[in-house]
Structure 1
Amino acid sequence: MSTGTLTEAVLEFPDNRLLIELCGEFDRNLTDIEARLGVQILRRGNLLAIHGEAAAQAEASEVLQALYQRLEQGKSVNRGDIDREFRMADGAETTGSQLDMFGPGDRIEIKTRKKLIEPRTEAQKAYVRSLYENELAFGIGPAGTGKTYLAVAVGVNMFIQGHVDKIILSRPAVEAGERLGFLPGDMKDKVDPYMQPLYDALNDFLPGKQLARMMEEKTVEIAPLAFMRGRTLSHAFVVLDEAQNATSMQMKMFLTRLGEGSRMVITGDRSQVDLPRGVQSGLRDAERLLSNIEKISFNYFTARDVVRHPLVAKIIDAYDKDAEAG
Protein backbone atom coordinates (compact mmCIF):
# COMPACT_ATOMS: atom_id res chain seq x y z
CA MET A 1 0.00 0.00 0.00
CA SER A 2 1.13 3.59 -0.46
CA THR A 3 0.34 6.93 1.21
CA GLY A 4 2.09 9.89 -0.44
CA THR A 5 5.81 9.06 -0.48
CA LEU A 6 5.41 6.39 2.23
CA THR A 7 5.50 2.77 1.18
CA GLU A 8 5.51 -0.69 2.72
CA ALA A 9 7.94 -3.44 1.83
CA VAL A 10 7.40 -6.97 3.07
CA LEU A 11 10.35 -9.35 3.40
CA GLU A 12 9.98 -13.08 4.00
CA PHE A 13 12.59 -15.05 5.99
CA PRO A 14 12.06 -18.83 5.82
CA ASP A 15 14.12 -19.79 8.90
CA ASN A 16 12.34 -18.49 11.99
CA ARG A 17 15.35 -19.21 14.23
CA LEU A 18 17.60 -17.05 12.06
CA LEU A 19 14.93 -14.35 11.96
CA ILE A 20 14.98 -14.19 15.77
CA GLU A 21 18.77 -13.69 15.61
CA LEU A 22 18.31 -11.06 12.90
CA CYS A 23 15.91 -9.07 15.07
CA GLY A 24 18.24 -9.29 18.07
CA GLU A 25 17.45 -9.38 21.78
CA PHE A 26 14.33 -7.28 22.43
CA ASP A 27 14.43 -6.42 18.69
CA ARG A 28 17.43 -4.14 19.28
CA ASN A 29 18.83 -4.75 15.78
CA LEU A 30 15.55 -3.62 14.25
CA THR A 31 15.51 -0.62 16.57
CA ASP A 32 19.00 0.39 15.40
CA ILE A 33 17.94 0.24 11.76
CA GLU A 34 14.71 2.14 12.48
CA ALA A 35 16.60 4.92 14.27
CA ARG A 36 19.17 5.20 11.51
CA LEU A 37 16.72 5.39 8.60
CA GLY A 38 13.55 6.78 10.17
CA VAL A 39 11.50 3.73 9.23
CA GLN A 40 9.21 1.42 11.20
CA ILE A 41 9.79 -2.35 11.06
CA LEU A 42 7.00 -4.69 12.17
CA ARG A 43 7.33 -8.45 12.57
CA ARG A 44 4.46 -10.68 11.43
CA GLY A 45 5.35 -14.34 11.88
CA ASN A 46 8.26 -14.95 9.52
CA LEU A 47 7.70 -11.64 7.70
CA LEU A 48 9.13 -8.17 8.33
CA ALA A 49 7.09 -5.22 7.12
CA ILE A 50 9.02 -1.98 6.61
CA HIS A 51 7.12 1.31 6.59
CA GLY A 52 8.75 4.56 5.49
CA GLU A 53 9.82 6.70 2.58
CA ALA A 54 10.71 4.69 -0.49
CA ALA A 55 14.48 5.32 -0.40
CA ALA A 56 14.81 4.57 3.32
CA GLN A 57 12.60 1.51 3.04
CA ALA A 58 14.70 0.18 0.14
CA GLU A 59 17.92 0.68 2.10
CA ALA A 60 16.46 -1.06 5.17
CA SER A 61 15.42 -3.99 2.96
CA GLU A 62 18.93 -4.25 1.51
CA VAL A 63 20.57 -4.17 4.96
CA LEU A 64 18.18 -6.72 6.46
CA GLN A 65 18.68 -9.13 3.57
CA ALA A 66 22.48 -8.79 3.79
CA LEU A 67 22.40 -9.45 7.55
CA TYR A 68 20.14 -12.49 7.11
CA GLN A 69 22.57 -13.83 4.50
CA ARG A 70 25.36 -13.53 7.09
CA LEU A 71 23.32 -15.66 9.49
CA GLU A 72 22.72 -18.27 6.79
CA GLN A 73 26.51 -18.48 6.40
CA GLY A 74 26.88 -19.21 10.12
CA LYS A 75 28.16 -15.73 11.01
CA SER A 76 26.98 -13.49 13.81
CA VAL A 77 25.05 -10.24 13.59
CA ASN A 78 25.86 -7.48 16.05
CA ARG A 79 25.93 -3.69 16.05
CA GLY A 80 29.29 -3.66 14.30
CA ASP A 81 27.91 -5.82 11.50
CA ILE A 82 24.89 -3.53 11.08
CA ASP A 83 27.20 -0.52 10.97
CA ARG A 84 29.35 -2.25 8.33
CA GLU A 85 26.36 -2.91 6.06
CA PHE A 86 25.31 0.74 6.19
CA ARG A 87 28.84 2.00 5.57
CA MET A 88 29.35 -0.35 2.64
CA ALA A 89 26.02 0.71 1.13
CA ASP A 90 27.07 4.37 1.41
CA GLY A 91 30.54 3.65 0.05
CA ALA A 92 29.20 1.86 -3.00
CA GLU A 93 27.73 5.14 -4.21
CA THR A 94 30.96 7.11 -3.84
CA THR A 95 33.57 4.49 -4.66
CA GLY A 96 36.33 5.91 -6.87
CA SER A 97 38.56 4.24 -9.39
CA GLN A 98 40.96 3.15 -6.63
CA LEU A 99 38.34 0.70 -5.41
CA ASP A 100 36.92 -0.34 -8.76
CA MET A 101 39.43 -3.18 -9.06
CA PHE A 102 37.26 -5.12 -6.62
CA GLY A 103 33.59 -4.26 -6.70
CA PRO A 104 31.67 -2.87 -3.73
CA GLY A 105 29.79 -6.17 -3.39
CA ASP A 106 32.97 -8.21 -2.87
CA ARG A 107 33.57 -9.51 0.67
CA ILE A 108 36.99 -9.43 2.26
CA GLU A 109 37.47 -11.57 5.36
CA ILE A 110 40.53 -11.99 7.57
CA LYS A 111 40.57 -15.28 9.46
CA THR A 112 42.45 -15.43 12.76
CA ARG A 113 42.55 -18.05 15.51
CA LYS A 114 39.83 -16.33 17.57
CA LYS A 115 37.60 -14.41 15.19
CA LEU A 116 36.76 -13.46 11.64
CA ILE A 117 37.52 -9.81 10.81
CA GLU A 118 35.72 -7.90 8.06
CA PRO A 119 36.47 -4.33 6.94
CA ARG A 120 33.59 -1.99 7.77
CA THR A 121 34.22 0.78 5.21
CA GLU A 122 35.38 0.98 1.61
CA ALA A 123 38.62 2.67 2.75
CA GLN A 124 39.28 -0.20 5.17
CA LYS A 125 38.52 -2.67 2.40
CA ALA A 126 41.02 -1.02 0.03
CA TYR A 127 43.59 -0.91 2.84
CA VAL A 128 43.30 -4.63 3.61
CA ARG A 129 43.57 -5.48 -0.08
CA SER A 130 46.73 -3.35 -0.33
CA LEU A 131 48.28 -5.16 2.67
CA TYR A 132 48.01 -8.44 0.78
CA GLU A 133 49.14 -7.01 -2.56
CA ASN A 134 52.11 -4.82 -1.54
CA GLU A 135 55.32 -5.52 0.34
CA LEU A 136 55.25 -2.01 1.83
CA ALA A 137 51.99 -0.23 2.71
CA PHE A 138 51.12 2.93 4.63
CA GLY A 139 47.87 3.51 6.52
CA ILE A 140 47.37 7.20 7.40
CA GLY A 141 44.41 8.73 9.18
CA PRO A 142 42.78 9.57 12.52
CA ALA A 143 42.48 7.33 15.57
CA GLY A 144 39.75 4.71 15.54
CA THR A 145 39.84 3.95 11.81
CA GLY A 146 41.27 0.44 12.26
CA LYS A 147 44.71 1.09 10.73
CA THR A 148 46.69 -0.90 13.29
CA TYR A 149 43.97 -3.40 14.19
CA LEU A 150 43.50 -4.52 10.59
CA ALA A 151 47.26 -4.62 9.97
CA VAL A 152 47.80 -6.92 12.96
CA ALA A 153 44.86 -9.10 11.83
CA VAL A 154 46.40 -9.48 8.37
CA GLY A 155 49.77 -10.28 9.98
CA VAL A 156 48.20 -13.03 12.11
CA ASN A 157 46.37 -14.40 9.06
CA MET A 158 49.56 -14.49 6.96
CA PHE A 159 51.42 -16.20 9.82
CA ILE A 160 48.69 -18.84 10.19
CA GLN A 161 48.80 -19.52 6.44
CA GLY A 162 52.58 -19.88 6.51
CA HIS A 163 53.39 -16.86 4.34
CA VAL A 164 55.64 -15.38 7.06
CA ASP A 165 57.65 -16.93 9.89
CA LYS A 166 57.16 -14.22 12.49
CA ILE A 167 55.22 -11.09 13.41
CA ILE A 168 57.10 -8.00 14.56
CA LEU A 169 55.20 -5.04 15.99
CA SER A 170 56.92 -1.79 16.86
CA ARG A 171 56.19 1.74 18.07
CA PRO A 172 58.29 4.79 18.86
CA ALA A 173 58.46 5.08 22.67
CA VAL A 174 57.92 8.83 22.56
CA GLU A 175 57.50 10.53 25.91
CA ALA A 176 54.24 12.43 26.15
CA GLY A 177 54.03 13.98 29.60
CA GLU A 178 56.02 11.37 31.54
CA ARG A 179 59.72 10.62 31.20
CA LEU A 180 60.56 6.95 30.78
CA GLY A 181 63.41 7.22 33.26
CA PHE A 182 61.04 8.29 36.02
CA LEU A 183 58.70 5.33 35.56
CA PRO A 184 59.24 2.34 37.91
CA GLY A 185 60.67 -1.02 36.83
CA ASP A 186 63.15 -2.33 34.28
CA MET A 187 63.21 -1.39 30.59
CA LYS A 188 60.37 -3.81 29.71
CA ASP A 189 58.20 -2.32 32.45
CA LYS A 190 58.98 1.16 31.15
CA VAL A 191 58.13 0.52 27.49
CA ASP A 192 55.20 -1.91 27.88
CA PRO A 193 52.64 0.89 28.46
CA TYR A 194 53.56 2.30 25.03
CA MET A 195 53.17 -1.13 23.44
CA GLN A 196 49.84 -2.02 25.12
CA PRO A 197 47.61 -1.30 22.07
CA LEU A 198 49.66 -3.85 20.13
CA TYR A 199 49.26 -6.45 22.89
CA ASP A 200 45.51 -5.73 22.90
CA ALA A 201 45.21 -6.35 19.16
CA LEU A 202 47.14 -9.63 19.34
CA ASN A 203 45.00 -10.84 22.25
CA ASP A 204 41.94 -10.28 20.06
CA PHE A 205 43.24 -12.62 17.39
CA LEU A 206 45.25 -15.33 19.18
CA PRO A 207 44.43 -17.53 22.21
CA GLY A 208 46.35 -16.45 25.30
CA LYS A 209 48.44 -19.63 25.66
CA GLN A 210 49.39 -19.65 21.99
CA LEU A 211 50.35 -15.97 22.08
CA ALA A 212 52.47 -16.49 25.20
CA ARG A 213 54.26 -19.41 23.54
CA MET A 214 54.85 -17.44 20.34
CA MET A 215 56.31 -14.53 22.29
CA GLU A 216 58.54 -16.89 24.23
CA GLU A 217 59.74 -18.45 20.96
CA LYS A 218 60.20 -14.96 19.41
CA THR A 219 57.81 -15.71 16.56
CA VAL A 220 55.92 -12.68 17.88
CA GLU A 221 57.96 -9.67 18.94
CA ILE A 222 56.77 -6.36 20.32
CA ALA A 223 59.53 -3.81 20.72
CA PRO A 224 60.22 -0.05 20.66
CA LEU A 225 61.41 1.37 17.35
CA ALA A 226 64.90 2.00 18.73
CA PHE A 227 65.39 -1.76 19.13
CA MET A 228 65.08 -2.28 15.35
CA ARG A 229 68.46 -0.69 14.54
CA GLY A 230 70.98 -3.06 12.99
CA ARG A 231 68.45 -5.81 12.20
CA THR A 232 67.36 -7.25 8.86
CA LEU A 233 63.74 -8.37 9.09
CA SER A 234 63.32 -11.34 6.74
CA HIS A 235 60.23 -13.55 6.24
CA ALA A 236 58.34 -11.40 8.76
CA PHE A 237 55.17 -9.33 8.88
CA VAL A 238 56.31 -6.03 10.36
CA VAL A 239 54.08 -3.22 11.64
CA LEU A 240 55.29 0.22 12.72
CA ASP A 241 52.49 1.90 14.66
CA GLU A 242 52.23 5.61 15.59
CA ALA A 243 54.75 6.34 12.84
CA GLN A 244 54.07 10.09 13.04
CA ASN A 245 56.28 10.02 16.16
CA ALA A 246 59.28 8.56 14.33
CA THR A 247 61.94 11.04 13.27
CA SER A 248 63.11 11.14 9.66
CA MET A 249 66.29 9.23 10.58
CA GLN A 250 64.30 6.60 12.49
CA MET A 251 61.89 6.17 9.58
CA LYS A 252 64.74 5.66 7.11
CA MET A 253 66.36 3.19 9.51
CA PHE A 254 63.12 1.23 9.89
CA LEU A 255 62.22 1.13 6.19
CA THR A 256 65.66 -0.15 5.28
CA ARG A 257 65.20 -3.13 7.64
CA LEU A 258 62.86 -4.72 5.07
CA GLY A 259 64.26 -8.13 4.17
CA GLU A 260 63.49 -10.96 1.80
CA GLY A 261 59.99 -12.43 2.04
CA SER A 262 58.76 -9.73 4.44
CA ARG A 263 55.77 -7.39 4.48
CA MET A 264 55.92 -4.01 6.18
CA VAL A 265 53.03 -1.79 7.26
CA ILE A 266 53.45 1.79 8.51
CA THR A 267 50.49 3.37 10.33
CA GLY A 268 50.13 6.87 11.72
CA ASP A 269 48.02 9.96 12.35
CA ARG A 270 49.55 13.21 11.14
CA SER A 271 47.40 15.22 13.58
CA GLN A 272 48.91 13.56 16.69
CA VAL A 273 52.65 14.26 16.46
CA ASP A 274 54.31 14.20 19.91
CA LEU A 275 57.82 14.99 18.69
CA PRO A 276 59.62 18.04 20.12
CA ARG A 277 58.91 21.31 18.35
CA GLY A 278 61.02 21.69 15.23
CA VAL A 279 61.62 17.95 14.74
CA GLN A 280 60.26 16.75 11.40
CA SER A 281 57.93 13.74 11.47
CA GLY A 282 59.37 10.79 9.58
CA LEU A 283 55.87 9.91 8.37
CA ARG A 284 55.57 13.21 6.52
CA ASP A 285 58.99 12.73 4.97
CA ALA A 286 58.09 9.21 3.86
CA GLU A 287 54.92 10.49 2.19
CA ARG A 288 56.87 13.17 0.36
CA LEU A 289 59.70 10.91 -0.78
CA LEU A 290 58.02 7.57 -1.46
CA SER A 291 54.54 8.33 -2.78
CA ASN A 292 55.52 7.83 -6.43
CA ILE A 293 57.43 4.57 -5.98
CA GLU A 294 55.76 1.53 -7.52
CA LYS A 295 54.87 -1.32 -5.12
CA ILE A 296 54.49 1.08 -2.18
CA SER A 297 50.86 1.86 -1.37
CA PHE A 298 49.49 4.82 0.58
CA ASN A 299 46.02 4.38 2.07
CA TYR A 300 44.16 7.29 3.66
CA PHE A 301 41.31 7.37 6.18
CA THR A 302 39.01 10.17 7.33
CA ALA A 303 36.54 10.67 10.17
CA ARG A 304 33.99 8.78 8.01
CA ASP A 305 36.03 5.62 8.62
CA VAL A 306 36.05 5.84 12.43
CA VAL A 307 34.54 2.63 13.81
CA ARG A 308 34.65 3.47 17.51
CA HIS A 309 31.87 5.33 19.33
CA PRO A 310 29.98 7.63 16.89
CA LEU A 311 31.04 10.65 18.97
CA VAL A 312 34.69 9.98 18.10
CA ALA A 313 34.08 10.86 14.44
CA LYS A 314 32.35 14.09 15.47
CA ILE A 315 35.22 14.99 17.82
CA ILE A 316 37.78 14.43 15.04
CA ASP A 317 35.71 16.55 12.64
CA ALA A 318 35.52 19.39 15.19
CA TYR A 319 39.29 19.44 15.70
CA ASP A 320 39.95 19.22 11.95
CA LYS A 321 37.66 22.18 11.24
CA ASP A 322 39.32 24.21 14.02
CA ALA A 323 42.76 23.46 12.58
CA GLU A 324 41.63 24.52 9.10
CA ALA A 325 40.13 27.75 10.49
CA GLY A 326 43.38 28.49 12.33
Structure 2
Amino acid sequence: MESLVEVSLEFDRIEHAMNLFGNFDENINIIEDAFNVKIISRDNEIRVVGYSDGVYKAQTVLNRLISMAAQGDIISKQNVSYFVQLAEDNQLDKVKGFTADFICLTARGRQIKAKTHGQKIYVDAIKENDIVFGIGPAGTGKTFLAVAMAVTAFRNKEVNRIVLTRPAVEAGEKLGFCRETCKTKWIRICGRCMMLFMK
Protein backbone atom coordinates (compact mmCIF):
# COMPACT_ATOMS: atom_id res chain seq x y z
CA MET A 1 0.00 0.00 0.00
CA GLU A 2 1.31 3.44 -0.94
CA SER A 3 2.28 5.57 2.04
CA LEU A 4 1.43 9.22 2.60
CA VAL A 5 4.08 11.84 1.89
CA GLU A 6 4.38 15.47 2.89
CA VAL A 7 6.14 18.43 1.24
CA SER A 8 6.54 22.03 2.37
CA LEU A 9 6.51 25.20 0.30
CA GLU A 10 7.39 28.69 1.44
CA PHE A 11 6.14 32.10 0.36
CA ASP A 12 7.46 35.54 1.24
CA ARG A 13 4.45 37.65 2.15
CA ILE A 14 1.05 37.05 3.68
CA GLU A 15 -0.57 38.94 0.75
CA HIS A 16 0.71 36.22 -1.58
CA ALA A 17 -1.03 33.56 0.52
CA MET A 18 -4.31 35.50 0.45
CA ASN A 19 -4.06 35.80 -3.33
CA LEU A 20 -3.12 32.13 -3.67
CA PHE A 21 -5.90 30.74 -1.47
CA GLY A 22 -8.66 32.97 -2.92
CA ASN A 23 -12.04 33.76 -1.40
CA PHE A 24 -13.01 31.14 1.18
CA ASP A 25 -10.02 29.02 0.04
CA GLU A 26 -11.72 28.35 -3.32
CA ASN A 27 -8.41 28.04 -5.21
CA ILE A 28 -6.92 25.58 -2.73
CA ASN A 29 -10.14 23.53 -2.71
CA ILE A 30 -9.82 23.02 -6.49
CA ILE A 31 -6.29 21.64 -6.05
CA GLU A 32 -7.25 19.44 -3.08
CA ASP A 33 -10.21 17.91 -4.93
CA ALA A 34 -8.25 17.35 -8.15
CA PHE A 35 -5.24 15.59 -6.61
CA ASN A 36 -6.77 14.09 -3.45
CA VAL A 37 -4.38 15.95 -1.15
CA LYS A 38 -4.69 18.07 2.00
CA ILE A 39 -3.15 21.56 1.95
CA ILE A 40 -2.40 23.31 5.25
CA SER A 41 -1.07 26.84 5.70
CA ARG A 42 0.98 27.88 8.74
CA ASP A 43 2.70 31.29 8.91
CA ASN A 44 4.69 31.58 5.65
CA GLU A 45 4.63 27.84 4.92
CA ILE A 46 2.27 25.59 2.97
CA ARG A 47 2.25 21.85 3.63
CA VAL A 48 0.85 19.37 1.12
CA VAL A 49 -0.06 15.89 2.41
CA GLY A 50 -1.19 12.96 0.27
CA TYR A 51 0.02 10.18 -2.00
CA SER A 52 3.21 10.83 -3.93
CA ASP A 53 1.76 11.36 -7.42
CA GLY A 54 -0.94 13.78 -6.23
CA VAL A 55 1.49 15.63 -3.95
CA TYR A 56 4.00 16.04 -6.79
CA LYS A 57 1.36 17.48 -9.13
CA ALA A 58 -0.09 19.74 -6.43
CA GLN A 59 3.41 20.96 -5.55
CA THR A 60 4.13 21.85 -9.19
CA VAL A 61 0.85 23.76 -9.54
CA LEU A 62 1.35 25.56 -6.22
CA ASN A 63 4.90 26.60 -7.16
CA ARG A 64 3.60 28.12 -10.38
CA LEU A 65 0.80 29.95 -8.55
CA ILE A 66 3.19 31.24 -5.88
CA SER A 67 5.47 32.66 -8.59
CA MET A 68 2.43 34.33 -10.19
CA ALA A 69 1.47 35.89 -6.85
CA ALA A 70 5.06 37.12 -6.33
CA GLN A 71 4.85 38.92 -9.71
CA GLY A 72 1.71 40.73 -8.57
CA ASP A 73 -0.75 38.77 -10.76
CA ILE A 74 -4.26 38.17 -9.47
CA ILE A 75 -4.88 34.43 -9.21
CA SER A 76 -8.35 33.42 -10.37
CA LYS A 77 -10.22 30.12 -10.35
CA GLN A 78 -9.62 30.03 -14.11
CA ASN A 79 -5.82 30.13 -13.60
CA VAL A 80 -5.96 27.37 -11.02
CA SER A 81 -8.27 25.17 -13.11
CA TYR A 82 -6.03 25.61 -16.16
CA PHE A 83 -2.87 24.52 -14.32
CA VAL A 84 -4.71 21.64 -12.65
CA GLN A 85 -5.92 20.44 -16.06
CA LEU A 86 -2.37 20.55 -17.45
CA ALA A 87 -1.13 18.55 -14.47
CA GLU A 88 -3.92 15.98 -14.82
CA ASP A 89 -3.07 15.57 -18.52
CA ASN A 90 0.58 14.89 -17.59
CA GLN A 91 1.73 18.10 -19.24
CA LEU A 92 3.55 19.37 -16.18
CA ASP A 93 6.43 20.60 -18.36
CA LYS A 94 4.08 23.32 -19.64
CA VAL A 95 3.39 24.38 -16.06
CA LYS A 96 7.09 24.48 -15.22
CA GLY A 97 8.18 26.08 -18.48
CA PHE A 98 5.57 28.80 -18.46
CA THR A 99 7.63 31.96 -18.82
CA ALA A 100 7.07 35.02 -16.67
CA ASP A 101 7.91 37.65 -19.29
CA PHE A 102 5.21 40.14 -20.24
CA ILE A 103 4.28 41.78 -23.54
CA CYS A 104 3.74 45.37 -22.40
CA LEU A 105 2.41 47.59 -19.62
CA THR A 106 -0.98 49.29 -19.69
CA ALA A 107 -1.43 52.98 -18.87
CA ARG A 108 -2.19 51.93 -15.29
CA GLY A 109 0.97 49.85 -15.05
CA ARG A 110 -0.71 46.44 -15.35
CA GLN A 111 1.31 43.77 -17.14
CA ILE A 112 -0.18 42.18 -20.24
CA LYS A 113 1.07 38.62 -20.65
CA ALA A 114 0.08 35.25 -22.04
CA LYS A 115 -2.08 33.39 -19.53
CA THR A 116 -2.15 29.97 -21.17
CA HIS A 117 0.31 27.79 -23.04
CA GLY A 118 -1.64 28.32 -26.26
CA GLN A 119 -1.47 32.10 -25.86
CA LYS A 120 2.29 31.83 -25.27
CA ILE A 121 2.70 29.89 -28.54
CA TYR A 122 0.59 32.56 -30.29
CA VAL A 123 2.71 35.42 -28.92
CA ASP A 124 5.95 33.63 -29.87
CA ALA A 125 4.59 33.09 -33.40
CA ILE A 126 3.84 36.82 -33.70
CA LYS A 127 7.39 37.62 -32.56
CA GLU A 128 9.00 35.25 -35.04
CA ASN A 129 6.79 35.73 -38.16
CA ASP A 130 5.56 38.62 -40.29
CA ILE A 131 2.08 37.16 -40.83
CA VAL A 132 0.23 35.01 -38.29
CA PHE A 133 -3.31 33.63 -38.51
CA GLY A 134 -4.99 33.28 -35.12
CA ILE A 135 -7.96 30.92 -35.16
CA GLY A 136 -10.05 30.12 -32.11
CA PRO A 137 -13.27 30.76 -30.19
CA ALA A 138 -14.39 34.26 -29.25
CA GLY A 139 -12.91 35.64 -26.04
CA THR A 140 -9.65 33.66 -26.08
CA GLY A 141 -7.43 36.74 -26.49
CA LYS A 142 -6.56 36.62 -30.19
CA THR A 143 -7.21 40.28 -31.02
CA PHE A 144 -6.17 41.57 -27.59
CA LEU A 145 -2.74 39.92 -27.71
CA ALA A 146 -2.20 40.89 -31.36
CA VAL A 147 -2.92 44.55 -30.56
CA ALA A 148 -0.65 44.39 -27.49
CA MET A 149 2.16 42.99 -29.65
CA ALA A 150 1.57 45.72 -32.27
CA VAL A 151 1.70 48.46 -29.63
CA THR A 152 4.91 46.97 -28.20
CA ALA A 153 6.51 46.92 -31.67
CA PHE A 154 5.44 50.54 -32.19
CA ARG A 155 6.85 51.65 -28.83
CA ASN A 156 10.13 49.86 -29.57
CA LYS A 157 10.27 51.61 -32.98
CA GLU A 158 10.25 48.26 -34.78
CA VAL A 159 7.41 49.66 -36.93
CA ASN A 160 6.46 53.26 -37.65
CA ARG A 161 2.73 52.79 -38.19
CA ILE A 162 -0.11 50.45 -37.25
CA VAL A 163 -2.85 49.82 -39.82
CA LEU A 164 -6.06 48.19 -38.60
CA THR A 165 -8.11 46.43 -41.29
CA ARG A 166 -11.20 44.30 -41.22
CA PRO A 167 -13.60 42.82 -43.77
CA ALA A 168 -16.52 45.17 -44.47
CA VAL A 169 -19.20 42.55 -43.86
CA GLU A 170 -22.12 44.21 -42.15
CA ALA A 171 -25.88 44.38 -42.48
CA GLY A 172 -26.81 45.79 -45.87
CA GLU A 173 -23.32 45.35 -47.37
CA LYS A 174 -22.25 42.86 -49.97
CA LEU A 175 -19.29 40.58 -49.33
CA GLY A 176 -16.19 42.03 -50.96
CA PHE A 177 -17.62 45.55 -51.30
CA CYS A 178 -15.04 48.15 -50.27
CA ARG A 179 -16.66 51.33 -48.97
CA GLU A 180 -14.96 54.55 -49.99
CA THR A 181 -14.09 55.69 -46.49
CA CYS A 182 -10.32 55.19 -46.87
CA LYS A 183 -9.87 58.97 -47.18
CA THR A 184 -11.14 59.53 -43.67
CA LYS A 185 -9.16 58.84 -40.48
CA TRP A 186 -11.11 55.57 -39.96
CA ILE A 187 -9.92 53.13 -42.58
CA ARG A 188 -12.48 50.46 -43.44
CA ILE A 189 -11.40 48.10 -46.16
CA CYS A 190 -12.47 44.73 -47.46
CA GLY A 191 -10.27 41.65 -47.36
CA ARG A 192 -9.96 41.53 -51.16
CA CYS A 193 -8.54 45.06 -51.31
CA MET A 194 -6.32 44.75 -48.24
CA MET A 195 -3.11 43.69 -50.03
CA LEU A 196 -3.54 46.37 -52.70
CA PHE A 197 -4.06 48.98 -49.99
CA MET A 198 -1.00 47.85 -48.03
CA LYS A 199 1.17 48.06 -51.17
Normalising by structure 2, report the TM-score: 0.71
Partner in structure 2 of residue 112 of structure 1: 105
- The answer on 1:130 being equivalent to 2:94 is no
Counterparts of residues 67-82 of structure 1 (less than 5 Å): 67-82=65-80
Deviations 1:98-156 (A, max 9, x none): xxxxx934334211324322223333212111112221111223334322221122122
**Given the alignment, which residue of 144, 158, 171 partners 1:163?**
158
CA distance in 2, matches of 1:87, 1:256: 45
Normalising by structure 1, report the TM-score: 0.47
CA distance in 2, matches of 1:258, 1:86: 44
Partner in structure 2 of residue 145 of structure 1: 140
- The answer on 1:225 being equivalent to 2:189 is yes
Give the structure with the higher percent strand.
1
Q: Is the 8 A contact 1:12 1:47 kept in 2?
A: yes
Q: For 1:180, what is the secondary structure of its paired residue?
A: coil
CA distance in 2, matches of 1:151, 1:36: 34
Counterparts of residues 148-227 of structure 1 (less than 5 Å): 148-175=143-170, 179-180=171-172, 223-226=187-190
Partner in structure 2 of residue 49 of structure 1: 47
Query: CA 1:108 to 1:225, structure 2 compared with 1: closer, same or farther past 3 Å?
Result: farther
CA distance in 1, matches of 2:34, 2:154: 39
Q: Is the 8 A contact 2:34 2:84 kept in 1?
A: no
Q: For 1:66, what is the secondary structure of its paired residue?
A: helix
Question: 2:28 is aligned with what amino acid?
Answer: L
Superposed displacement of residue 161, structure 1: 2.7
Q: Is the 8 A contact 2:31 2:84 kept in 1?
A: no
Deviations 1:295-316 (A, max 9, x none): xxxxxxxxxxxxxxxxxxxxxx
Q: For 2:46, what is the secondary structure of its paired residue?
A: strand
Unaligned runs of 5+ in 2: 174-178, 180-184
**Given the alignment, which residue of 14, 38, 41 partners 1:40?**
38
CA distance in 2, matches of 1:167, 1:87: 37
Partner in structure 1 of residue 176 of structure 2: none
Seq. identity, %: 32
CA distance in 1, matches of 2:104, 2:85: 21
Q: Is the 8 A contact 1:85 1:120 kept in 2?
A: no
Superposed displacement of residue 14, structure 1: 4.2
Superposed displacement of residue 20, structure 1: 2.5
CA distance in 1, matches of 2:35, 2:197: 49
Partner in structure 2 of residue 323 of structure 1: none
Partner in structure 1 of residue 182 of structure 2: none
Which of 1 and 2 has higher RCO (CA within 8 Å, sep 6+)?
A: 1
Partner in structure 2 of residue 22 of structure 1: 20
CA distance in 1, matches of 2:92, 2:23: 32
CA distance in 2, matches of 1:166, 1:91: 43
CA distance in 2, matches of 1:41, 1:145: 31
Question: 1:40 is aligned with what amino acid?
Answer: K
Question: 1:19 is aligned with what amino acid?
Answer: A
Q: For 1:42, what is the secondary structure of its paired residue?
A: strand
Superposed displacement of residue 88, structure 1: 6.2
Counterparts of residues 230-309 of structure 1 (less than 5 Å): 250=192, 253-258=193-198
Deviations 1:43-78 (A, max 9, x none): 233322223332222121112122222333333333
Q: For 1:126, what is the secondary structure of its paired residue?
A: helix
Q: How many residues align?
A: 185
